Structure 1
Amino acid sequence: MSDIALKLRRFAETGRALDRVWVTIVAILLALAVVVPAQLPGSLVFTGQQLASVAPFLLLSVMIAAWAGATGADSLIARAFSGHPVKMVLMASAFGALSPFCSCGVIPLIAALLSMGVPLAPVMAFWLASPVIDPAMFMLTVGTIGMEFAVGKLLAAIALGLIGGFATLWLTRLGFLTEPLREGIGNGGCGGGKMRSPKPPVWRFWHDPDRTDRFRRDAIKTTLFLGKWLALAFLLESLMVTYIPAETVSAAVGGDGVLPVLIATLVGVPAYLNGYAALPLVGGLISQGMQAGAGMAFLVAGGVSSLPAAIAVFALVKKPVFALYLAYALIGSFAVGLVFQIVH
């Protein structure tokens, strides 16, 4: 083996040992420092601010997951989120649309649910519906675009959850998606196949050294795992916001007919646009003649599968589940956009 090949092999092995995500983050920062040093401080500040904004959701969800594991209450929580599959998909879709989680804030909760053995179908329904709208965003939508659009977005969130939830339920009944999580992330399975046998919970787990140690280890492990992926997502987002302005992205979806709705969906799926920042921009474009259906498709697609959310989902689940997640976002957003355009 040549010296160059040997060095490349050693570099690759070192990268795997150091963790590819952290290596990627450092590589991006070094590239910024060399190529565009003026952008480096802005990206660092942006990443820190976004991590701080999602930290309460991350901390709460991590603590709940660690507490559930330490007390032995995780199987009880999983059972509370299970039951008849059809009923759970309906409940998860409605609850997701009313929950206060953003596309990234919902990720730690999803990780906890799946690792507890909660069936994938209701989790997918909640996963898809939750980022589209929350109570605060509903009120802001009323103020910026109007009540009709706000109600339409709420119904779109529920519809997207139902589409993804029932499609996933159908696939699981055919024998697919039996192990949704990546290796080493929890030990749950689809349909509750690996639901742990319920045992009496030990609520005051801090009196047991072994349970206290498990709480600490689970909390640290989950925080570091999710934190590194969110840091990478927000770092990439800072570059997108800088070099691909939101106004340019949203302005590409003007025009009449079905094509603007399709373009809005295709642009919204990979592009990041903060849900709160997007509302006044889309509202302004609608007032200038942009289709309401295109605006709805763009907001729904961007909320569900923005870059930070997509990276976080990719980190949690296996490739088939990730592909389905993107397909649901694409097809569901396009469908709700068309329906909203027809009934508007």
Structure 2
Amino acid sequence: MTDTTLSTLGPRAVLRHLWQEQRVWMASALILGLLAVFDPAQAAESARFAGAALLHTAPYLVLSVAIAAWAGATGADNLIARAFTGAPVLMIGLAALVGAVSPFCSCGVIPLIAALLAMGVPLSAVMAFWLASPIMDPSMFVLTSGVLDMEFAIAKTLAAIGLGVFGGLVVHLLARGGALGEPLRAGVGNGGCGGAKMRAPKPVAWRFWIEPERRARFGRDARKTSLFLAKWLTLAFLIESLMLAWIPAETVTAALGGEGLWPILAATLVGVPAYLNGYAALPLVGGLMAQGMAPGAGMAFLVAGGVTSIPAAMAVWALARPPVFALYVALSLTGAFAAGLLFQVWTML
């Protein structure tokens, strides 16, 4: 909404609009404000943690925002969308494979997901990429093989691909029944216009900066996506810092110990609000396994935590409609439990 439009509204309408636009920033400010009053040391630590986390993810976010804005400004989104057409099962498999080896974190991939859905790419292929991406990447593979072992790293990679394929196929079957027609929240994107682009593709203007209108679109899309991510990730990292501070590691250890099916199920559920990022969780899982925790429980914890961690889940919630978000969480839990169970069986052979 422009300043000119705002000037025509009454005071209540203006306040309501500002609340809708700025409520996420206000929530972050409220958290820091309350901490500053009741626990100044934690306020400083939470601010430092959120700043460091944003700085760490910045390269991935900048790259993903730039790719999404570039695709829209050049018209290359036509080519990208058409690349995802064809046999659904093949597209789902390829999307899961690319997601498992891509360097994007669960938050950095969000603008790409929004762009793909807005282009009219089927939700089944996008979901496969979406689920597989946060579980594994090249650096995570190397670190996992070092902290745990190569077998675990390979199994986690296969779990990422398997979860992507599983989720993509489920979404494909649901979509064939007429469900999930509008996956994005209002104002985030519109798959209908993207579908029109695929039906009537226009030439791609690779040198988009020559045309003022395309330059303006690039800047507008990049700015909008950056602000969207910044406000949600800031709130997510603040919440994560509080979980780190207030939930002792011993609690997690007690919940994940033992053998059998229960530890795998418990690890899946505990991994949902996983307050540790994927890199920090590896030493914890390694220590628990050294103390006798079942390998399957460790796999379930890492898979569930990677897909449904607080920053990732909040980013998905901000982007997708509630039914898609609920399906994302359900697929994550089911896939994480299955991955843990299968890995446990494998280690027993």
Under a length normalisation based on structure 1, what TM-score does the superposition of the two structures give? 0.92
Q: 1:282 touches 1:295 (CA, 8 Å); kept in 2? A: yes
Counterpart of 1:75 (choices 68, 71, 78) is: 78
The Cα offsets for residues 49-89 of structure 1, whole Å up to 9 and x where unpaired, read as 11111111111111111111111221111112332211010
- Where in structure 1 are there 5+ consecutive unaligned residues? 1-8
Q: Secondary structure at the match of 1:38?
A: helix
Matches of 1:297 and 1:317 in 2, distance apart? 25
- The CA deviation at 1:195 is 4.0
2:105 is matched by which residue type in structure 1? C
- For this pair of structures, how many residues does the alignment match? 336
Matches of 1:176 and 1:193 in 2, distance apart? 20
Matches of 2:67 and 2:331 in 1, distance apart? 28
1:308 is matched by which residue type in structure 2? P
Q: 1:119 touches 1:192 (CA, 8 Å); kept in 2? A: no
Q: 1:297 touches 1:333 (CA, 8 Å); kept in 2? A: yes
2:215 aligned with 1:198: no
Q: 1:188 touches 1:194 (CA, 8 Å); kept in 2? A: no
- The CA deviation at 1:308 is 0.5
Question: What is the percent sequence identity of the aligned residues?
Answer: 65
2:93 aligned with 1:90: yes
Q: 1:17 to 1:151 in 2, by over 3 A?
A: closer
Counterpart of 2:65 (choices 22, 38, 62) is: 62
Q: 1:181 touches 1:189 (CA, 8 Å); kept in 2? A: no
Q: 1:35 to 1:18 in 2, by over 3 A?
A: farther
2:275 aligned with 1:262: no
Q: 1:110 to 1:245 in 2, by over 3 A?
A: farther
The Cα offsets for residues 29-64 of structure 1, whole Å up to 9 and x where unpaired, read as 111111211111111111111111111111111111
Counterpart of 2:166 (choices 163, 167, 173) is: 163
Question: Equivalent residues in 2 for 1:1-344 (5 A)?
Answer: 13=16, 16-188=19-191, 192=195, 195=198, 197-344=200-347
Q: Secondary structure at the match of 2:191?
A: coil
Further displaced range: 26-35 or 164-173: 26-35
Matches of 1:343 and 1:206 in 2, distance apart? 54
Q: 1:178 touches 1:190 (CA, 8 Å); kept in 2? A: no
Q: 1:14 to 1:216 in 2, by over 3 A?
A: closer
2:98 is matched by which residue type in structure 1? F
2:324 is matched by which residue type in structure 1? V
Q: Secondary structure at the match of 1:19?
A: helix
- The CA deviation at 1:299 is 0.5
Q: 1:164 to 1:78 in 2, by over 3 A?
A: same
In structure 2, the partner of 1:5 is none
Question: Over aligned residue pairs, what C-alpha RMSD do you find?
Answer: 2.0
- The CA deviation at 1:13 is 3.0
- The CA deviation at 1:17 is 4.8
Q: Secondary structure at the match of 1:252?
A: helix
Q: 1:11 to 1:272 in 2, by over 3 A?
A: farther
Matches of 2:149 and 2:168 in 1, distance apart? 29
Further displaced range: 20-29 or 195-204: 195-204
Under a length normalisation based on structure 2, what TM-score does the superposition of the two structures give? 0.91
In structure 1, the partner of 2:6 is none
- The CA deviation at 1:287 is 1.3
Q: 1:61 touches 1:112 (CA, 8 Å); kept in 2? A: no
- The CA deviation at 1:104 is 1.6
Q: 1:185 touches 1:316 (CA, 8 Å); kept in 2? A: yes
Matches of 1:226 and 1:93 in 2, distance apart? 24
Matches of 1:246 and 1:232 in 2, distance apart? 22
Matches of 1:232 and 1:200 in 2, distance apart? 40
Further displaced range: 295-304 or 57-66: 57-66
1:304 is matched by which residue type in structure 2? V
Q: 1:275 to 1:315 in 2, by over 3 A?
A: same
In structure 2, the partner of 1:3 is none
Q: 2:78 touches 2:197 (CA, 8 Å); kept in 1? A: no
Further displaced range: 243-252 or 203-212: 243-252
Matches of 1:260 and 1:181 in 2, distance apart? 35
